[in-house]
Chain A
Amino acid sequence: MKLTIQREDLLRPLQITSSVVERRHTLPVLSNVLLSLRNNSLQLTGTDLEVEINARIPIESAEEGEITLPARKFLDICKALPEGASLELKVEEGKVLIRSGRSRFSLSTLPATEFPNIEPITSPLEITLSQKDLRNLIDRTQFSMAQQDVRYYLNGLMLEFAPDHLRAVATDGHRLAKCDASISLPVAENRQIIVPRKGVAELSRLLDDSDTKIRISLGDNHIAIDLPDVTFTSKLIDGKFPDYQQVIPQNPDKILTCSRQALHESFSRASVLSNEKYRGMRLQLEGDQLRATVHNPEQEEAVEEMQVDYQGEPFEIGFNVSYFIDALAAIDSDDVRVKFTDSNHSCLVEGADQDACQYVIMPMRL
């Protein structure tokens, strides 16, 4: 294998594929990136056995072949080379030789045959949608995913494919985020899949806000997403996502409306003095006044008062302030509505002008 490539053409594909490579792994070859040169296309692949990212770069006139080399070192070398540098890369006696200007590197390799491949998806369900729709769904929900919960099916993002929408739901058991994209999908009935946490994080890095179409292929155990020049593949979490509909408040009758940004800023200030572990915040509503009080074990206190639109009875409720801040940051609307049932039941937070996204937060007993 032998090729010449511009540093700028190589850098981003190499960054994308190296980012799935874990520092600690079970197989030596998993710290490597696979280079495969065929039909004037250089393919780079990184994997951790759960998530695989494959990036393609067009290459003119080269000697075909494939090899794996240490991802981290290869990336660091590329980053350290000067802008506009040209790299000449060839395999010789089990080493990869890289020459660029007056720099020369000889990197260890492992044969490409040792590199694990995620099996191709057979008879997938195929869906086409715009990049920005998928990115929007992920950005507005992923912060609610659980982390290392024993309920393993919560450690990921649930995607629901329905005839008239694609829905993303994430929950850690204390709060839940749900967001819809109204698109018609070629499915007869709802299908739910759970993409693991790491896959979601990698995927959101790959997506941008453009209208470019991407293709989702769904297999029994995998999801693959084809972007221009990049293919993302992830295993799915084999589990049943809980019935999220059941935890969305049905008839909350205490409804507060106010400016999203003002509420976000007010809670952010209050949160400075919250207990680092529990993050408890007490909310009191009376007339058009909302009062947020926060304490910490050092006996410090923050009180934030704010005028809101509220017609219900006066009442009091406690929350983890971080859950509110996260939800308020994800809502794309000038005004927000917060709907309460009572101080023991979850509340619903949503944008006043759109209901594509909903956030459910379980109160805390303070």
Chain B
Amino acid sequence: MPSHRAILHVDMDAFYASVEIRDQPALAGRPVIVGGAPQRRGVVSAASYEARRFGVHSAMPTATALRRCPEAVLLPVRMERYAAVSRQIRAIFARYTPLVEPLSLDEAFLDVTESQKLFGPGAEIGRAIRQAIRQELDLVASVGVAPNKFLAKIASDLDKPDGFVEVKPDAVQDFLDPLPASRVWGVGKATCTELERYGIRTIANLRRQPRDWLVDRFGRFGERLYELARGIDHRPVVPDSEAKSLSHETTFPVDVRDRETLRARLLDLTEQVARRLRRHDRQARTVQLKLRFADFRSLTRSRTLPEPTDVTAEIWHATEGLFRAALQGETRPVRLIGMGVHELVDPAAEPHIQPDLFAEPQRHRQRELDRLADAIQSRFGPDGLRRGGAIKRQ
């Protein structure tokens, strides 16, 4: 085994907008916004670089975006189209390695360590993939090449759009040191403010802090900061099909105290995880909840399900139970919430499954519901259909 891994992070530039512009060449050069209608309080899903020049960015209310850039072309989200293009992109990845971990439709990690014997150094593979995407799909990707996921992700982001950045194993520290601390994975606004109080602005500043100092202030996340500041990240690239667990988490822009907001976000995450589980024909035995509080202390709680399942309602039932128990008497605001499923089993490979007399008819209905929801979701995108509880009550 080679002493260094070769990890690629491939990130499509302004993906939804680029697909739209490619499909309608008349839009080329114009500011394009893909998102929900302003009358329905829609938000921007993607903006072309022309639109970004006006200060438009994703997650911004469409109404605000159109005020900033009145001449922008507003297009509806066509999730099915983007999913189809995403599959074409993944087919290109698959030529070089089976170890592809998709993060979303437009972003993926690739482990090409072993592929180097066949296709040459990681950087060459990265260039070949970028070129294939451009030539065959007429789309632009930014690629980062590095010895681990953390560095690869920073690298792909550094020279966007149409970027290509390689971080060589012996140049990691020189690469990281001048970067602002906010580049570190998991460091958001709140952490930045906290770090700035101690005069920490760059990763070099961060690296000078002793491990204990970081742990005292940030708990387990402090350990992670210590390692990341040194470019250490051992997380493997895990293809979904081999995943031993699946999880999603969200860091809030501002710490959240409101239980309903947290619960709604958690339900959203649960739906996404359950959908991924079903997409890979797996069932989960355990469910895990993760919370990080404003003081950076984290908490994880897990629960074993009565029997392995891929039914959203059953996974949510367990997750919500953990959530309620975890927040019992809790006063700290929450900065991150996440959930995951572990101990995945392949029902087709399970030798014996004894279904329950009473749960089975209910399960049957829930499965139908899930199948319908999955179909709607893949057609209309994540906002196409949501469980009642996930819509925040005002």
Residues in A lying within 8 Å of B, measured CB to CB: 150, 171, 173-176, 242, 246-247, 275, 278, 280, 320, 346, 360, 362-366
CA of A320 to CA of B361 in the docked complex: distance in angstroms? 20
Nearest CB in chain B to that of A176: its residue = B357
**Chain B: how many interface residues by the 8 Å CB criterion?**
13
Q: Bound state CA distance, A107 and B306, in angstroms?
A: 49
| Option from B352, B356, B359 in Cβ contact (under 8 Å) with A365 | B352
Q: Does B351 lie within 8 Å of A173, measured CB to CB?
A: no
- B253 on interface, CB distance cutoff 8 Å: no
Q: Tell me which residues across on chain A come within 8 A of B306, comparing CB atoms.
A: 150
**Least CB distance, A57 to chain B, in whole angstroms:** 45
B353 at the interface (CB under 8 A from A): yes
How many A-B pairs have beta carbons closer than 8 Å: the answer is 43
B354 at the interface (CB under 8 A from A): yes
Q: Sorted from nearest, which 3 A-B pairs have the closest CB atoms?
A: A278-B352, A365-B353, A247-B357
Which B residue sits closest to A363, measured CB to CB? B355
Contact for A173 among B350, B357, B361, CB less than 8 A:
B357
Could you tell me if A174 and B353 are in contact, using CB atoms closer than 8 angstroms? no
- Chain A residues near B353 (CB, 8 Å)? 364-365
Determine chain A's interface SS by DSSP, over half rule: loop
Which of A173, A278, A280 is in CB contact (< 8 Å) with B358? A173
How far, in angstroms, from A346 to B364 measured CA to CA in the complex? Answer: 14
**Contact in complex: A278, B357 (CB < 8 Å):** no
CB pair A278 B361 closer than 8 Å: no
Does B352 contact A174, Cβ atoms closer than 8 Å? no
* Residues in A whose Cβ lies below 8 Å from that of B351: 275, 278, 280, 366
Name the residue of chain B whose CB is nearest to the CB of A345. Answer: B360
Within 8 Å by CB of A362, from B350, B352, B356, lies B356
Chain B contacts with A in 325-357, Cβ cutoff 8 A? 350-357
Q: Which residues of B contact A320 (CB under 8 A)?
A: 354
Q: How many Å lie between the Cα of A150 and that of B361 in the bound state?
A: 19
CB-based contact B361/A174 at 8 Å: no
Contact in complex: B352, A247 (CB < 8 Å) = no
- Provide the bound-state CA to CA distance between A366 and B350, in Å: 8
- 13 examples of A-B residue contacts, CB within 8 angstroms: A171-B357, A174-B356, A175-B357, A278-B351, A278-B354, A346-B357, A362-B355, A362-B357, A363-B355, A364-B353, A364-B355, A365-B354, A366-B352
14 more A-B contacts (CB under 8 A) besides A173-B358, A174-B354, A365-B350? A150-B306, A173-B357, A174-B357, A242-B358, A247-B358, A278-B351, A280-B352, A346-B357, A362-B355, A362-B356, A364-B353, A365-B352, A366-B351, A366-B352
Closest residue on chain A to residue B350 by CB atoms: A365
